[in-house]
């Protein structure tokens, strides 16, 4: 039975959610020689669900190689990736404040999907799952969008917002997994880890 896992994610929210589950973990982050962002390039005409699952698998491959190259203990590795989609259009991490405002204008008054894929591997056994949630934003004025983007919350977040932050003031309705929207769906993650022998 595994006693801890490696989390290959820089997200403090994923760490917090693993802590909530009571799962011991250590970070397994890329060094400067790795092109972590390059793994997130979307293929032509790729559907959001296929994209998020493929990227999560690539992240897991890279993390396993990283663990082995560093000569670390052979504990399971967990990866996740979150994608925001409006129809078939993937709304990634904004490049700057102007881009964040553009994304928020698209989400204003609309219902979008948040897809989070989870994958973990122990030995040769790989288990994966995906959570799909729907989020509806109220209509936002130009000034409201400008003020939200100015908080800096959009930085590094798919869809330019964080559900656990100030954006919550504009979210009318959520259908699905709140923790999945944060970045690590608790139910699906538990199922994945139990399949690898964790007691949760």
**What pLDDT, in 10s, does the model give residues 26-63?**
999 998 878 777 788 889 899 999 999 999 999 999 99
Select the more confidently predicted residue: 50 or 156.
50
What pLDDT is attached to residue 152?
95
Distance of CA 145 to the CA centre of its chain: 23
For 65, other C-beta atoms within 10 Å of its C-beta total: 11
Q: Which helix (H) or strand (E) holds 127?
A: strand 125-137
Average pLDDT over residues 120-129: 97
Spell out the domain ranges in the chain.
5-195
Burial 142-153 (b: 16+ CB within 10 A, else e): eeebeebbeeeb
Average pLDDT over residues 125-143: 98
Residues with Cβ < 8 Å from 117, sequence gap 6 or more?
Answer: 52, 53, 55, 56, 80, 81, 128, 129, 130
- pLDDT band at 17, cuts 50/70/90? very high
Average pLDDT over residues 149-174: 95
- pLDDT band at 119, cuts 50/70/90? very high
**Structure pTM?**
0.93
**What pLDDT, in 10s, does the model give residues 67-106?**
999 999 999 999 999 999 999 999 999 999 999 999 999 9
CB 193 within 8 A of CB 120: yes
- pLDDT band at 127, cuts 50/70/90? very high
What pLDDT is attached to residue 32?
81
CB 118 within 8 A of CB 80: yes
What pLDDT is attached to residue 16?
95
Active site residues: 81
CATH T-level topology, domain 5-195: Maf protein (3.90.950)
Give the total residue count for the chain.
200
What pLDDT is attached to residue 104?
97
What pLDDT is attached to residue 117?
98
Average pLDDT over residues 148-171: 94
What pLDDT is attached to residue 14?
95
- The Cα 60–Cα 44 span in angstroms is 22
Q: What is the mean pLDDT of the chain?
A: 95
């Amino acid at each position: 039975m595994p006693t801890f896992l490696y989390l290959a994610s820089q997200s403090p929210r994923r760490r917090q959610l693993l802590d909530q589950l009571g799962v011991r973990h250590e970070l397994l982050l890329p060094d400067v020689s790795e092109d972590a962002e390059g793994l997130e390039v979307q293929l032509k005409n790729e559907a959001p669900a296929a994209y998020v699952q493929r990227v999560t698998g690539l992240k897991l491959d890279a993390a396993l190689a990283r663990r082995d190259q560093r000569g670390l203990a052979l504990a399971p590795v967990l990866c996740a990736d979150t994608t925001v989609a409006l129809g078939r259009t993937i709304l990634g991490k904004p490049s700057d404040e102007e881009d964040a405002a553009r994304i928020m204008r698209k989400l204003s008054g609309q219902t979008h999907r948040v897809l989070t894929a989870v994958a973990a591997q122990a030995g040769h056994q790989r288990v994966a799952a995906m959570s799909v949630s729907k989020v509806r934003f109220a209509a936002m004025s130009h000034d409201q969008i400008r003020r939200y983007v100015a908080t800096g919350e959009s930085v590094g977040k798919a869809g330019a917002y964080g559900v656990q932050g100030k954006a919550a003031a504009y979210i009318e309705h959520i259908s699905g997994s709140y923790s999945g929207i944060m970045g690590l769906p608790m139910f699906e993650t538990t199922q994945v880890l139990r399949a690898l022998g964790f007691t949760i």
